[in-house]
Each structure stands twice: as C-alpha cells, then as structure tokens.
Amino acid sequence: MGERALRGTRLGATSYENDRNTDLAPRQEVPYTCPKGHHFDVPLAAEAEIPATWECRNCGATALRVDAEQPQQKKAKPPRTHWDMLLERRTIEDLEEVLNERLAILRAQRRKSA
C-alpha cells in the first residue's frame, strides 16, 4: 500500500487482510430457548463441547439448549449468619448472662447521668 492510502486510517485497529484462500473451521448452529420464550442460535465450532445452558441475548436469563435436559443444581450450603457463628462459640444461657451484665452496666450509667 502506498503512503497516501494509509493516511487518515487507524493503523493496527483495522485489518486489511481478506478471507480469500482461507478455510474456516467447521461450525454448527446450536438452538437455545429462554424461559421467557426467546429462541436463538449460537454458532459453535463442530468439535467444541456444547454447553447445556447459555445466557439469553435478549433478557440475560439462562437459556436451555433445545435438545438438552435441565442440568442438576449443585447442592449449596446455606450462608452462615452472625447468629449461627455466635451459637458455635456460646450457649443461650451464656448469651443471656452477658446480656444481663451489659444491661446492668447501661442502667447504672443512666442513673449516674440522671
């Protein structure tokens, strides 16, 4: 290319090569269906492992492959709360005792300031 042809272009941002004399990898169209009724196809390489789920292009929900079964959900542990962790360290009787001690301290401070 002459220098004049390159003037004003974004070098490196655009490829000037074409697809002539190249063989593209074999592809397959995989249909997916969204729970909201959206249908779309995803082009994948022929040797690629086909996922059972794909994010819907329209709404972002999890779409299921047309000929696939619903994948089994992994059993998730419920999140531990502050209360759960507290009960691992103390019994209810201990907690009631600490609460009564703190309430006594607060009541004593109120009496002094009143």
Sequence ranges of the binding site for Zn(2+)? 34, 38, 56, 59
Question: Annotated binding residues, as ranges?
Answer: 34, 38, 56, 59
d(CA 65, CA 72): 14
Nearest to 39 by CA among 65, 15, 74: 65
The strands making up 62-65's β-sheet, listed across from edge to edge, are 39-45, 27-33, 62-65, 53-55
